[in-house]
Structure 1
Amino acid sequence: MAGLAVLALADARFPGGGHVHSGGVEEAARQGLVTDVSNLREFLSGRLRTTGSVQGAFAAAAAHAALRSAPHGHWRALDAEFDARTPSPAQRSASRAQGRGTARSGRIAWPSAALDRLLAVSPRPHHPLVLGALAAGGGTAPRDAALAAGYLTISGPSSAAVRLLGLDPLVVNGVLAGLAAELDELADRAAAFAGADPAELPASSAPALELFAEAHERRQQDEVRLFAS
């Protein structure tokens, strides 16, 4: 069951709304910064080391909190600390939209008191916190929750790049496979932080991704875009 929870949560077919988010690829492509497989590889690696590191750590922390039946206050702190690490309003909105969608679908498969506590303190919680709570509800360890969160930070953007740039999906999947070692390292680091105070969790920043998100948000008001973020 633990393996199934991780696989389901990391599956692009899971109805959490992730398919409508490009993780910054759409704006990066529009600005000519991601144009081919080589550019995409660099983009995904950078995203994994920054955004992925934070999301993985918070997913692991949420799984740890769920497994030890943490009180409402701890979930409130986790949500607030992730908010503080997401300075872009557009990114915060995207994370909460995915969190709400994932919670609505996931609570049917893995209902838990931990998820109920999280939703009680934040009806639209951040996505990695929902991932961690659901993963724990499915019997998954914090490291595996981090692995799923880290994978989602690169799998969604890679899929978006195929659609936006017409890249060969087989080659793009090869790029993802090439990031396996970095993803494992991310999960190991995240697991080491799983029981830490929320304020002490990693806070890696990615200013370029934040600027992409804000530019994309402004552009949506003037023209139709393929992705919500």
Structure 2
Amino acid sequence: MSRAALLVLADGRFPAGGHAHSGGAEAAVRAGRITGAPDLADFCRGRLHTAGLVAAALAASAVLGLDPGELDAAADARTPSPALRTAARRLGRQLVRAARVAWPAPELDALVRDFPKGAHQPVVLGLAARAAGLDPLDAAYCAAYESVSGPATATVRLLSLDPFDATAVLAGLAPELDRVADRAVEAARRVADEGVDALPATSAPVLEIGAEAHAAWPVRLFAS
């Protein structure tokens, strides 16, 4: 296993399309829920313990070799917003394109055949991590970090927030990110015995509602 592969996969410059998505931050800024670094910290913390935990558990489960079809259906069930389901599949489609070039693997080829419109991004992330020789905890960390780094980066652009302040928010969340990654792997390991119902189903209704409103905007900076 090469931990350097984790750095490549988690790098914001990896061509997986994440730069075009704000993780709900654009809608939150418009609604006045994010006005500066303290609000961003609260937003990211909430996202980490809800959508981030779910994504991390799905990614870890995929590394463990659980059925991608079952995991994708589980992701669908945990994503009530049609706009967010569409965004997740779009991101998954872009990620698998990049991953197949970086780490060619039959499992990634099969995913393209089985999900021509794209599988949910966390499922693809887990299979990409598996192809790269990473373990479930690596995948969980990557998914959890993405859940907060995307909104932080987007807020720098949306509010002209000082990048140092945004980075400080991410650094401050590090202990919580550790705990979320550990919880995600624990849940993923239970799936073999208990089925996908063992995966977290933590909800974030404001994110879901905001995503639907955001998708209807005639002009927006980010895709989601």
TM-score interval, smaller chain: over 0.9
Structure 1 Cα separation of the partners of residues 140 and 113 of structure 2: 23
Structure 1 Cα separation of the partners of residues 111 and 94 of structure 2: 14
Give 3-state SS (helix, strand or coil) of 1:9's partner.
helix
Question: How far apart are residue 116 of structure 1 and its match?
Answer: 2.5
Q: Of residues 84, 90, 98 in structure 2, which corresponds to 1:91?
A: 84
Paired letter, 1:153: S
Question: How far apart are residue 198 of structure 1 and its match?
Answer: 2.1
Paired letter, 1:204: T
Q: How does 1:58-207 map to 2 (within 5 A)?
A: 58-65=58-65, 74-123=67-116, 124-195=118-189, 196=191, 197-207=195-205
Structure 2 Cα separation of the partners of residues 142 and 127 of structure 1: 15
Structure 1 Cα separation of the partners of residues 182 and 110 of structure 2: 27
1:209 alignment partner in structure 2:
207
Give 3-state SS (helix, strand or coil) of 2:15's partner.
coil
Question: Aligned pair 1:226/2:221, yes or no?
Answer: yes
User: 2:188·2:198 contact (CA, 8 Å) conserved in 1?
Assistant: no
Runs of 5+ unmatched residues, structure 2: none
Query: Which whole-Å deviations, capped at 9, do the CAs of 1:27-62 have from their partners, x for residues lacking one?
Result: 110111111111100000000000000000000001
User: 2:137·2:181 contact (CA, 8 Å) conserved in 1?
Assistant: yes
User: 1:146·1:191 contact (CA, 8 Å) conserved in 2?
Assistant: yes
Count of residue pairs the alignment pairs up: 219
TM-score norm. by structure 2 comes to: 0.95
Moved segments of 4+, more than 3 Å: none
Structure 2 Cα separation of the partners of residues 7 and 205 of structure 1: 29
User: 1:75·1:121 contact (CA, 8 Å) conserved in 2?
Assistant: no
Query: Which whole-Å deviations, capped at 9, do the CAs of 1:132-167 have from their partners, x for residues lacking one?
Result: 101111110001100000000100110000000011
Structure 2 Cα separation of the partners of residues 102 and 75 of structure 1: 15
Identity %: 52
Give 3-state SS (helix, strand or coil) of 1:2's partner.
coil
Give 3-state SS (helix, strand or coil) of 2:79's partner.
coil
Structure 2 Cα separation of the partners of residues 179 and 78 of structure 1: 27
Paired letter, 1:181: P
TM-score norm. by structure 1 comes to: 0.93
Identify which range, 47-56 or 185-194, moves more after superposition.
Answer: 185-194
Give 3-state SS (helix, strand or coil) of 1:86's partner.
coil
